[in-house]
Structure formats: C-alpha cells, structure tokens
Amino acid sequence: MVEIDQQQKFQNKIDAEIKIEPKDWMPEAYRKNLIRQISQHAHSEVIGMQPEGNWITRAPSLRRKAILLAKVQDEGGHGLYLYSTAETLGITREEMINALQDGSARYASIFNYPTQTWADVGAIGWLVDGAAIVNQISLQRTSYGPYSRSMVRICKEESFHQRQGYELMLTLSRGSEAQKAMAQDSLNRFYWPSLMMFGPHDTESAHSASSMKWKVKRETNDDLRQKFIDQTAPQIEFLGLQHPDKDLKWNDEKGQFDSGEINWDEFWRVINGDGHCNRQRVQHHINAHKEGAWVREAMASYQQKKKSKAA
Ligand code: FAQ
C-alpha cells in the first residue's frame, strides 16, 4: 500500500514536470533503466574517442589537428560527466567499466565502423554529433535532474563538434575531384549507421513505453530519427553531394521526407558484437585501462595520505 502511494506520488511529480533528484524516492525499475541508459551513453562517449583519435597524428594541418584534439578530449569529458551522473544512482564507476569490458553493457553501434579516410572525421562530426545533438536536445528535458543538467553542457560542446565536421565536409566537397569523391564515399558509409543511432523502430523498442511514461525519453526513436533525416537532406544538397538514400522523397502532405528502410539485420548484428571493429574497440579500452592503473593507484594513495594527515 505504501509502495503504491509512493509510485503514484512519483508519477504525479513526473507528470507535473518536477525533476527527480538523487535522494528522492524512485521505483527500482526507473533507477535501473536510468543506470542502463546513462552508463551506455557514457560508454558511447568514451569508445567514440577511438575512431577519431585514429586520425590525430595524421591531420592535414596544425589547425585541423588542434580542432580534432580538442573534440576528442571533449568526448572523454562527456563520458566523465555521465559516469558521475550514473554514480548518483548507486552504481560504481568500476562496475560500469567492468560491464563495458565484459560485453554486458552496450555503446552506440556507430563506433564499431572503421574510419578509413580523413573525410570520416568530417562525416563523424557532422552526422554522428549531429544525430547525437538531435537526441540530446530532447534529453535536456529528461526527468532525472542530474542527467538533464549534464545534457545542457554536453549539447553546447556537441554543437561546436557538429559545425567543425560540416565545415570540413564543405572544404572537401568544394576541393579537388578526389577530395569531393572522398567526402561522398564517407557520407555513403556513415549515413545509414547514423540513422541507426536512434535505435530500433518504436514498435520494436523494448524500453520506450516505460521511458516515455517516466519522461526519461521525451520523444520516440522514430520521431527523433525523422527530425534528423529532415535536417540532413538540405545539408547534403548544399554540399553538392548525392543523397545515399535513393528512396528519399519529400512528402508534401506530411511536411517531411519519406525514406528508405534501414538494414536492421546489420543493426542487430553490430549491436550484438559482430561489427567490423567491436573486438578491437573493447580490447583497446581494456589495454588503455590497464596502462592507466598506476595513475589510479597513485591518486588513491595520495588521497589516503591527505586523509591520514587531516586525521
Ligand atoms: N547502438 O529499447 P531501445 C555521442 C540498444 S555518441 C547500440 O529503443 P532505449 C558523442 C538499446 O541500448 C552518442 N545499442 O532502447 C560522440 C537497448 O539495449 P539493452 C551517445 C543500441 O535505451 C560523437 C536495445 O537496443 N548518445 O554523443 C542502439 O530506450 C562523435 C533496445 O533499444 C547516446 O548514447 C545503438 N544505436 O533507446 C562521441 C544517447 N540503439 O539496454 C565521439 C543516449 C538501441 O536493452 C564521436 N541513449 N540500442 O541491452 C538513448 O537515447 C537511448 O538509449 C537510445 C535507445 C535511443 C540509443
């Protein structure tokens, strides 16, 4: 009876747009769902450093290198805000890292695709950060206070990432024939995986119903994907590139584009561990984490020393 009362009070708060804070009562399923989504989001930011990090030493100019270094560093920072946000729900950083490394936690499937050319750095900034922003603008209004606040700051930084990516693609597409071809090839490879970032169709989405009820998610996977499709089509046109979706067609009645179908077999294969780079990405994380053990130990012993001095 007390539990039912609490459930009702909780839902009333959500319906009244009052944020849920770490010390507030919350249903166990809400807490678990948030830990799942926020930790996966954090892992995506951190694993997402790898495909672009691959190009830092090969950036074509000092300006491009400085921009890329700053961007990759920002993604690491986003991971840290999000791990801290998830920790407010009672899980430790160590537990989350273990889940990433043993394969029980997911991260965005897009990062299992290789970055084969310099244009991929532009395509990731433009399309991957672009898709992330569409989702994250919506998540700024999520019901859990710490997640909502972390999204506000992250969106500001992602906006700079998206612009630098588009500017890079613009430079290539206005360059030599070879540069334009490189930009087109990159768009062809990254367009469909970017649409997959929004998750399965609403009818197939296991968590959407409860996440929408609890206002963890404010818009559905398909609605957000449609926004991204609609905003990207004119951007492709402005670049003077061919749209990778041959079925894309403006629908006057709906006021939006109709589009071709995503390859869902590929989506499920990649998120279940069989993409081009899944094993390499996780192994790289394990190696980097092991190499950084001495830093964590040094920090812990410094903290210990400070504590015993203060005592
Ligand atoms: N990849 O029931 P739903 C960035 C999983 S990177 C992998 O619809 P939900 C920075 C899903 O987790 C982008 N797995 O799930 C950057 C669930 O699995 P589970 C980071 C996916 O949670 C840029 C299952 O499928 N952004 O910003 C994917 O309601 C450039 C069923 O799906 C976020 O992570 C996928 N694409 O909706 C860094 C956004 N889609 O847990 C470097 C936060 C679905 O049952 C370079 N997350 N799954 O095992 C979300 O908004 C949501 O979690 C969704 C999925 C929309 C991704």
- SS3 per residue for 81-126: HHHHHHHCCCCCHHHHHHHHHCCCCCCCHHHHCCCCCCHHHHHHHH
184 within ligand 1 shell (Cβ under 6 A): no
pLDDT over threshold 70, residue 62: yes
Dist. CA 307–CA 257, nearest whole Å: 60
CA-CA distances (angstroms) from residue 254 to 222, 235, 236, 246?
Answer: 15, 20, 21, 19
> What is the arithmetic mean of pLDDT over 95-123?
98
Protein residue whose Cα sits closest to atom 43 of ligand 1:
41
218 within ligand 1 shell (Cβ under 6 A): no
Q: What is the pLDDT of residue 311?
A: 80
Name the percent of the chain lying above pLDDT 90: 97
Q: What is the pLDDT of residue 4?
A: 78
Q: How many residues does the chain have?
A: 311
Q: What is the pLDDT of residue 290?
A: 97
Ordered alpha helix ranges (H), the chain = 2-15, 28-47, 49-53, 62-87, 93-101, 119-123, 129-139, 145-173, 177-196, 208-213, 221-239, 264-269, 278-291, 293-310
Protein residue whose Cα sits closest to atom 36 of ligand 1:
197
> What is the arithmetic mean of pLDDT over 113-141?
98
> What is the arithmetic mean of pLDDT over 31-48?
98
164 within ligand 1 shell (Cβ under 6 A): no
Backbone angles phi, psi at 144, to 5 degrees: -90, 115
Considering the chain, what is the average pLDDT of its residues?
97
pLDDT over threshold 70, residue 27: yes
Name the percent of the chain lying above pLDDT 70: 99
The best mutation among 128, 212, 266, 271 to test binding of ligand 1, ranked by most ligand atoms within 8 Å of the C-beta, falls on 271
Q: Any idea what DSSP says for residue 144?
A: B
Protein residue whose Cα sits closest to atom 9 of ligand 1:
207
Q: What is the pLDDT of residue 205?
A: 98
> What is the arithmetic mean of pLDDT over 158-182?
97
Q: What is the pLDDT of residue 189?
A: 98
Residue 249 pairs in a beta bridge with 258
269 within ligand 1 shell (Cβ under 6 A): no
CA of 139, closest atom in ligand 1? 51
CA-CA distances (angstroms) from residue 73 to 49, 59, 126?
Answer: 8, 15, 17
Number of CB atoms found within 10 A of residue 287's CB: 10
Cβ atoms of 105 and 38 closer than 8 Å: no
196 within ligand 1 shell (Cβ under 6 A): yes
Pick from 30, 260, 15, 234: which is nearest to 130 by CA?
Answer: 234
Q: What is the pLDDT of residue 3?
A: 72
Cβ atoms of 77 and 156 closer than 8 Å: no
224 within ligand 1 shell (Cβ under 6 A): no
Cβ atoms of 249 and 258 closer than 8 Å: yes
35 within ligand 1 shell (Cβ under 6 A): no
CA of 136, closest atom in ligand 1? 39
**Both tokens assigned to 287:** 């190696």
Protein residue whose Cα sits closest to atom 51 of ligand 1:
135
**Both tokens assigned to 183:** 């930009």
Confidence of residue 263 (pLDDT cuts 50, 70, 90): very high
Distance in Å, CA 216 to ligand 1 centroid = 13
Q: What is the pLDDT of residue 270?
A: 97
Q: What is the pLDDT of residue 298?
A: 96
Instruction: List, in order, residues 6 or more apart from 179 with CB less than 8 Å away.
Output: 119, 171, 172, 173
> What is the arithmetic mean of pLDDT over 37-52?
98
Distance in Å, CA 136 to ligand 1 centroid = 11
Residue 258 pairs in a beta bridge with 249
Q: What is the pLDDT of residue 1?
A: 59
Among the ranges given (210-214, 265-269, 294-298, 306-310), the one the predictor scored with the smallest mean pLDDT: 306-310
The best mutation among 71, 102, 106 to test binding of ligand 1, ranked by most ligand atoms within 8 Å of the C-beta, falls on 106
pLDDT over threshold 70, residue 228: yes
**Both tokens assigned to 180:** 């334009």
> What is the arithmetic mean of pLDDT over 39-63?
97
120 within ligand 1 shell (Cβ under 6 A): no
Dist. CA 18–CA 294, nearest whole Å: 43
Model confidence pLDDT, tens digit, residues 177-196? 999 999 999 999 999 999 99
